[in-house]
Amino acid sequence: MIRRYDMSSNKKGFTLVELLAVIVILAIILAIAVPGISGLIGNTRKGAFESDVKMIITGIEYKVLEASLNDGINLPAEGSNIKSSIDEYGADPNNYSSVTIVSYDPVTISVTSKADSKFGAWTATNATRSSVTVQSVE
């Protein structure tokens, strides 16, 4: 005699054990993925800060060249904080706490971003176009 099961009367769904197994697997995946994603975000912000520093340096180099060709252009003194005027170079002054010209030959600057900026808190000391060393400020 063949027994037939009536599927309409069986309960459909997942058991508690199956649901718990899925939750445990998802928790393990998150525990592995979240630190990697956090590091990726930090590296991206650091890279964006480095790019902004190089853009500021390039803008200052252009201004130095312009001043050498035109006597009417005055350059800020070495050691002065030019944060308020970096928008001329394409950078947002609101992202920085200080931007100081260290030297004009070669153009060397020291830059510190604000903690609440789009970059987070970073500093680049004695940065030139060919060498930008960035450190986290925490």
20 burial level (CB within 10 Å; 0-12, 13-18, 19+): exposed
pLDDT digits (tens, 9 = 90+) for 84-114: 999 998 899 999 999 999 999 999 999 999 9
Decide if 7 is inside a domain. no
Q: Which amino acid is at 13?
A: G
60 burial level (CB within 10 Å; 0-12, 13-18, 19+): buried
DSSP state at residue 3: -
Is there a contact between 96 and 86 (Cβ–Cβ < 8 Å)? yes
Decide if 118 is inside a domain. yes
Domain of residue 120, residue span: 15-136
How confident is the model at residue 3, as a pLDDT?
Answer: 67
Closest CA to 114 of 137, 85, 132, 134: 137
pLDDT digits (tens, 9 = 90+) for 62-90: 999 999 898 888 899 999 999 999 999 88
Tokens for 5, please give them: 């099961």
Q: What percent of the chain has pLDDT over 90?
A: 70
Tokens for 2, please give them: 């063949």
pTM of the predicted model, to two decimals?
0.74
Decide if 9 is inside a domain. no
How confident is the model at residue 14, as a pLDDT?
Answer: 86
Mean pLDDT estimate for the chain = 89
Q: Which amino acid is at 45?
A: R
Decide if 3 is inside a domain. no
Query: What total of structural domains would you count in the chain?
Result: 1
Decide if 73 is inside a domain. yes
Decide if 96 is inside a domain. yes
124 burial level (CB within 10 Å; 0-12, 13-18, 19+): buried
Is there a contact between 51 and 86 (Cβ–Cβ < 8 Å)? no
Is there a contact between 113 and 93 (Cβ–Cβ < 8 Å)? no
Decide if 6 is inside a domain. no
How confident is the model at residue 77, as a pLDDT?
Answer: 92
Decide if 91 is inside a domain. yes
Tokens for 60, please give them: 């200052």
